[in-house]
Every structure is written in structure tokens, then in C-alpha cells.
Chains A and B, each alone.
Chain A
Amino acid sequence: DVKVTQSSRYLVKRTGEKVFLECVQDMDHENMFWYRQDPGLGLRLIYFSYDVKMKEKGDIPEGYSVSREKKERFSLILESASTNQTSMYLCASSRRDVSETQYFGPGTRLLVL
């Protein structure tokens, strides 16, 4: 079974803090993704990565950065957290094959005060 884990299920931070969200997958997948999910807006792609040290912007990269130093780990960084970044953050991974089925982690619910 594919396993995608995220460092925290719930996180509370203050405005202006630097926030790190970690994601680890154990299936040697090439692709990894960060989404945020908000009511009425569905899932929106923040960043994705095809390989180690590679990153591509998704639909809403502003205010975020990412790091992929190892194949199994993909980090999302909020340089200076703001209240509009309060959301559910979801990590996913997929193998680079014809179908590229994505497998998701349990999510991190972030509250920025």
C-alpha cells in the first residue's frame, strides 16, 4: 500500500511566523504535490515536483515555497504566515507512469491567528 504521511494533523501558528509542512512518501514516487483545500474552492495546486531539486509552480504559489532535497520528502514553507493561509493542506505523490494516479496524505489543518 502506498503511504503518504504529513508531519502534523493540526497546527496553530501566529501571523508572520515561518511555517514548515513536511510530507514523506514511501513508494519511491517521482512526482509530489502540495494542494490546499478550502470550502467551495475545491483543491488548488500550490507547487509540484517531478524530481529531486525540481519544482514547478501550480495555480496559487504566492506566499509559499517548497523544497525537495530527497526523493521521498517534499516540504512546503510559508515564509511569513498570514490569516488567509488558514486552510487544509494536502500532500500527494504519484509514479511517473501512463496514468499517474495520485495518492494523498491525511492532510494538515493549519490555523493562522
Chain B
Amino acid sequence: DAKTTQPPSMDCAEGRAANLPCNHSTISGNEYVYWYRQIHSQGPQYIIHGLKNNETNEMASLIITEDRKSSTLILPHATLRDTAVYYCIVRPGFPYNTNAGKSTFGDGTTLTVKP
């Protein structure tokens, strides 16, 4: 699976948009980009995923560059409860994911939302 690079930490003011970048320059054509977050001592929470197009759901927006080598997760109005570690992962979907589940959760970005 392709590796990802994320900044180790970011701060954001409450109520402002939080933009979390991720580089995945070795991504291949059948690999999805997934974003999860983990609040201290809890299991990772799925946020959003995409293949080529930008995606939006009730939690966030995902912007994927045209060459797919990087992406940005956008939390439009960050709250204190959005303080967490955010993980960007790339891996193939079925049926290409012969190692299903072998997602590599690296160190992620620690986002701190400040009042």
C-alpha cells in the first residue's frame, strides 16, 4: 500500500476551518484515500474516503488533487471536540485489496482546536 506523509501537529481556532494535508505521491490507480480520526483512548472513527473526485459528508470534505498525489481533509467549522489525531490512509478496495485490513495507520496529525 502507498505510504502517506502528514504533518505531526496543527492548531486551529474554534469556529474556523481546519485544513489537514496529506501527501501520497506513490498512490496507484485502484487505491482509495481514507481519513480516520482517533480521540484519546478511543477506537479510530471513520470520517470520509474518496478515489478521484472530491467528497463531502456531514462531517467533512475531502479534496483530492487531479494527479491524486495529495489530498486535504477540511473540517468546515472546527469545534473543541474535533481535537484528535487524524490519520490519512491509502489502500486498494475490493477485489484488489488482497491484504484486506493491512491499512497502515502511521503517526497521523494531532489537531488541537483552541478556544
Contact = CB atoms under 8 A, between A and B. Distances in A.
Interface in A84-113: 88, 90-92, 94, 96-107, 109
Given A42-B106, A99-B49, A109 B41 contact: yes
Given A42-B104, A107-B41, A102 B46 contact: yes
A42 B103 CA distance: 10
A58 B41 contact: no
A100 B43 contact: no
Given A45-B102, A45-B103, A90-B44, 15 more contacts: A42-B104, A45-B101, A58-B101, A59-B102, A92-B101, A98-B93, A100-B97, A101-B34, A101-B46, A102-B46, A104-B36, A104-B45, A105-B43, A106-B43, A109-B41
Contacts of B41: 88, 107, 109
Interface in B41-83: 41-46, 49, 51
Interface in A8-42: 31, 33, 37, 40, 42
B100 A50 contact: yes
A21 B4 CA distance: 31
Contacts of B44: 43, 90, 104
Interface of B: 32, 34, 36, 41-46, 49, 51, 93-94, 97, 100-107
Interface of A: 4, 31, 33, 37, 40, 42-43, 45, 48, 50, 58-59, 88, 90-92, 94, 96-107, 109
B101 to A, nearest CB: 4
A102 B49 CA distance: 11
Chain B binding site: helix, strand, loop or mixed by DSSP? loop
B43 A42 contact: no
Contacts of A91: 43
Contacts of B34: 101
Contacts of B43: 4, 90-92, 104-107
A48 B93 CA distance: 16
B42 A100 contact: no
A42 B100 contact: no
Contact of B42 (A97, A99, A107): A107
